[in-house]
Structure 1
Amino acid sequence: MRIGVIADTHVPSRAKKLPAALVEGLQGVDLILHAGDWVTLDIVQELEKIAPVDGIAGNNDGEEIVRRFGRKKLLTLAGYQIGMVHGDGRSKTTERRAWEAFKGEGVDVIVFGHSHIPLSRMQDGVLLFNPGSPTDKRRQPKFSYGIIQLGETVKANHFFYSDKS
């Protein structure tokens, strides 16, 4: 199973539409997971033209998005437990908050966003994955998204680009 992973799209405040490099890079995925800060449900419709979409709400999302997706989610995909949370909150780092959100839940992967900083690392046998942002790189050198492949093992890669148009 090939999963496109995005977060922090912030459309329309950070971009008027999804970047062409992102849309092209997501072609052929089986599912798209969004780790929050969609800002508008219009993005769901755009992403659904590519593949089925699931996700969670972030701190910049309104009640409509929260009702549709929730703030925390546990998915079973291809036999793996995937935890999703945006990662916002007080105290600690975004990564630490995401890790603690699924403590004791037996997850294989934790997908989170909020920091706009791409991250892919193992902690105690769990993959922590933040795709970064496809529209708001902040202090990062490039915009980014991720692809997670679930097969005999879990493989995760980031994809970077400079032009968000």
Structure 2
Amino acid sequence: MKIAVISDTHMGSVPAWLDDVYSTWLAPADVLVHCGDITSVAIWSYFMQHDNFVCVRGNCDWDPQFADLLKPMTSFERDGLSVGVTHGWGPRSHVPVTVAQAFGPEYDLVCYGHTHARDWSIVEGLQLVNPGSLGESGSLALISIATDGTMQCEFVDVF
């Protein structure tokens, strides 16, 4: 299974380069996760084309056309894997610990954003991933999960 994780797009409209990013890295994923700060209905609508799109509300998501539909935290299960998703909150240096504590040890993976900094770490016994900012630094994460449950993360620079 492959999970594509993006966050902090901070875009008002769909840029020309996004079609290539979507077709190359996001569309082939079994699940597309957006960790918040999508910021516009145009971008939200664009990513809704993925059959398995999961998105949470970030601190910059105010547009009631889509933001009111999003929760600050969500979770899903896929192929026996329990995944939590949130944007994150508080001082950026504390976000990984805050997120890990909010979800707890029953999750196999937690995806978060907010800091705009890539992270693939274990915090309080929980595997965390932050893809960085797709809109500002062109960063995304691809998580590959083997049948035995082992996970690998590849960070991709798209520009």
Q: Same fold (TM over 0.5)?
A: yes
Note closer, same or farther for the CA distance 1:162–1:2 as it changes in structure 2 (3 Å cut). Answer: closer
Q: Which runs of 4+ in 1 moved over 3 A?
A: 15-21, 48-51, 63-66
Partner of residue 71, structure 1: 72
Aligned residues of 2:140 and 2:157 also touching (Cα < 8 A):
no
Aligned residues: percent identity?
A: 24
Which segment is superposed worse, 29-38 or 46-55?
46-55
User: 1 CA distance for matches of 2:111 and 2:82?
Assistant: 11
Using the size of structure 1 for normalisation, the TM-score is: 0.81
Does 2:90 match 1:95?
Answer: no
| Residues 1:162 and 1:4: Cα distance change in structure 2 (over 3 Å) | closer
- Which residue in 2 is equivalent to 1:48? 48
Q: Residues 83-162 of structure 1 correspond to what in structure 2 (within 5 A)?
A: 83-89=84-90, 93-103=94-104, 106-137=106-137, 143-150=138-145, 151-161=147-157
RMSD, aligned CA? 2.4
Query: Which of the two has greater helix per residue?
Result: 2
Kindly tell me: are residues 97 and 50 of structure 1, through their superposed partners in 2, closer, same or farther at Cα, counting changes over 3 Å? Answer: same
* 1:22 and 2:14 aligned: no
SS at match of 2:82: strand
- Counterparts of 2:93 and 2:73, CA distance in 1: 18
Compute the displacement of 1:115 (Å).
0.4
What count of residue pairs does the alignment treat as equivalent?
156
Structure 1, unaligned runs of 5 or more: 138-142
Task: Describe the shift of the 1:64–1:152 C-alpha distance in structure 2 as closer, same or farther (beyond 3 A).
Answer: farther
